[in-house]
């Protein structure tokens, strides 16, 4: 029962990461294209376009980075952790690297959450509190933490798949 609940939570998180990343990218492209057309064909432009695209870019990057953790899209220290002959040493190295990564993500989550909480200044054009623009940063780091913790056993125990010429 518990495993079924956790699987449905994981599926929901996966769907959210994919959807937010894709919608953010589509919105960035649409707004940039519309603003370019408006600027060069009609000699005007959307004042809010740059501000909104910046917020969407941060959102896409944060949710996309969590998605990259899930799909193995981030660079790993595979060469360093694969050098020793002893499996226990390789596991220890991967454990240390993962602990440093998780510690760094926790630090970034805390700093970004504090930064977001202080974001009471209004944005220049849209007059929206900046904290709404910054919310995606702690959420993205929390999702990255979730993904690393979820896959930690696999990342530590299993040797990474080597790529390149064998």
How would you write the pLDDT of the chain (166 residues) with one tens digit per residue? 888 998 999 999 999 999 999 999 999 999 999 999 998 888 888 888 889 999 999 999 999 999 999 888 777 777 677 777 888 888 888 899 899 999 999 999 999 999 999 878 888 888 888 888 899 999 999 999 999 999 888 888 877 665 444 4
Query: How is the chain split into domains, by residue range?
Result: 2-157
Stretch (H or E) spanning 85 = none
First to last CA, the chain: 44
User: Quick count: other Cβ atoms within 10 Å of Cβ 1?
Assistant: 5
Please give the Cα distance from 136 to 130 (Å, whole number): 11
Please give the Cα distance from 39 to 31 (Å, whole number): 12
Model pLDDT, residue 162: 56
3-state helix, strand, coil in the chain (%, to 5): 75, 0, 25
- The single residue listed with the structure tokens 């904290």 is 131
Model pLDDT, residue 166: 42
Q: Are 98 and 151 in contact (CB under 8 A)?
A: no
| Residue 157 token pair | 């125990």
- 29 to each of 34, 35, 50, 139, how far by Cα in Å? 8, 10, 12, 23
Model pLDDT, residue 148: 92
Global pTM reads: 0.83
Q: Report angle CA 12, 14, 2 to the nearest 5 degrees.
A: 50
Q: Are 133 and 123 in contact (CB under 8 A)?
A: yes
Residue among 54, 14, 22 at smallest CA distance from 134: 54
């Amino acid at each position: 029962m518990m495993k079924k609940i956790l699987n449905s939570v994981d599926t929901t998180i996966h769907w959210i990461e994919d959807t937010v990343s894709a919608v953010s990218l589509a919105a960035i492209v649409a707004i940039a294209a519309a603003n370019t057309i408006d600027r060069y064909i009609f000699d005007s432009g959307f004042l809010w376009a740059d501000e909104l695209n910046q917020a969407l870019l941060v959102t896409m990057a944060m949710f996309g980075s969590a998605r990259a953790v899930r799909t193995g899209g981030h660079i790993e220290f595979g060469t360093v952790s694969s050098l020793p002959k002893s499996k226990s040493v390789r596991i220890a190295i991967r454990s240390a690297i993962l602990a440093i990564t998780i510690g760094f993500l926790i630090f970034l989550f805390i700093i970004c959450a504090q930064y977001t909480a202080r974001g009471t200044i209004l944005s220049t054009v849209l007059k929206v509190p900046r904290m709404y623009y910054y919310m995606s940063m702690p959420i993205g780091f929390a999702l990255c933490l979730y993904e690393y913790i979820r896959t930690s056993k696999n990342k530590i125990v299993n040797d990474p798949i080597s790529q390149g010429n064998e």
